[in-house]
Amino acid sequence: MSETICTIKNVDKHFGHFQALNHVSLTIGKGDIYGLIGENGAGKTTLMRLMTGLSPLQTGDIELLGEHVGHASRSLSRIGAVIESPALFEKLTVAQNLKVCAIQHGQGSQQEIDETIAFVGLTAKRNTKAKNLSLGQRQRLGLGLAILPHPDFLILDEPINGLDPTGIMEFRALLQRLNQEQHVTILISSHILTELYQVSTRFGILHHGTLIKELTKAELDEANQAGLLITVDDTAKTARLLDQAHITPFQVQDRTHILIMQKDADAGLINHTLVSGGIVVEDFSHRASSLEDYYTHLLQEAEGAVK
């Protein structure tokens, strides 16, 4: 495995009797854009607050950039974070907010401030007070403040909330540039899987405080394949017949279902091949790939598991 930026092990968090996080373990590798997905109240912000030391760790362990969180962490200076809403000085302009940030961090020349303003697309607003920025512009300024000190790891809590579709696309492009050009590892949360799908390389899905799934983008794509789903009486024999007839690729899903991963699979030919081989084909259905369906199914499974 590549270098690890963050390791979270068996983290619980209680607020009184309420358990907001339940044995959460996950790892974020260097260069990942890790999408943390979860519905409202799933525990995303709570986890990010623990990671950045904004909230005290109760049980479990969090290691960030080689240091345990909570031990006078020097690594915090290498982390940029926007959690909940960005902390802005409302009466100061965009440029002045960045200047204050540069002074606080002892880092960030005027040239770097100007470059950051351009990078986040706020050049036209550099002299506008924060209180007069739109929601999307505030998010951009928040990102600017987080990246000015050149962090190695960026933690962004729901940064695309409230952005319009163009804003979302531009924000994604900004994150991809940061990741690819400046090699920043990013943790980004959202309650909508489709929003993070385009930008993330790995995903963790939190549900009622439990991490129910962790997977790479390739694994997500595989689990979410479009194709022709066939219901048969004998999947092993069906698989042999499909192989012999070069009807590939396919995936045996369970005891009665096989997914033929071809968008325009010829159902008539497949039916003929299988029936001639003695298979009882009970059903054919085209399965469209839909991240929403995948996510909903995952949440239903998780609900079923706890019942």
Ligand X SMILES: Nc1ncnc2c1ncn2[C@@H]1O[C@H](COP(=O)(O)OP(=O)(O)OP(=O)(O)O)[C@@H](O)[C@H]1O
List of residues contacting ligand X (CB under 6 A) = 15, 18, 20, 38, 40-46, 191
Spell out the SS3 assignment of 157-196.
Answer: CCCCCCCCHHHHHHHHHHHHHHHHHCCCEEEEEECCHHHH
Closer CB to ligand X, 45 or 238, in the complex:
45
Closer CB to ligand X, 44 or 138, in the complex:
44
First to last CA, the chain: 36
Least separation, in Å, of the C-beta of 44 and ligand X? Answer: 4
Least separation, in Å, of the C-beta of 13 and ligand X? Answer: 8
Least separation, in Å, of the C-beta of 78 and ligand X? Answer: 24
- From the list 156, 116, 163, the residue with the least C-alpha distance to 138 is 163
Closer CB to ligand X, 139 or 225, in the complex:
139
The SS3 of residue 250 is strand
Closer CB to ligand X, 17 or 71, in the complex:
17
Q: Give the type of residue at 260.
A: I
Q: How far apart (Å, rounded) are the C-alpha atoms in residues 219 and 162?
A: 29
DSSP string, 26-51: EEEETT-EEEEE--TTSSHHHHHHHH
Q: How far apart (Å, rounded) are the C-alpha atoms in residues 279 and 282?
A: 9
Least separation, in Å, of the C-beta of 143 and ligand X? Answer: 18
Closer CB to ligand X, 50 or 228, in the complex:
50
Closer CB to ligand X, 185 or 189, in the complex:
189
Least separation, in Å, of the C-beta of 294 and ligand X? Answer: 19
Do the Cβ atoms of 90 and 55 come closer than 8 Å? no
Least separation, in Å, of the C-beta of 38 and ligand X? Answer: 5
Do the Cβ atoms of 76 and 52 come closer than 8 Å? yes
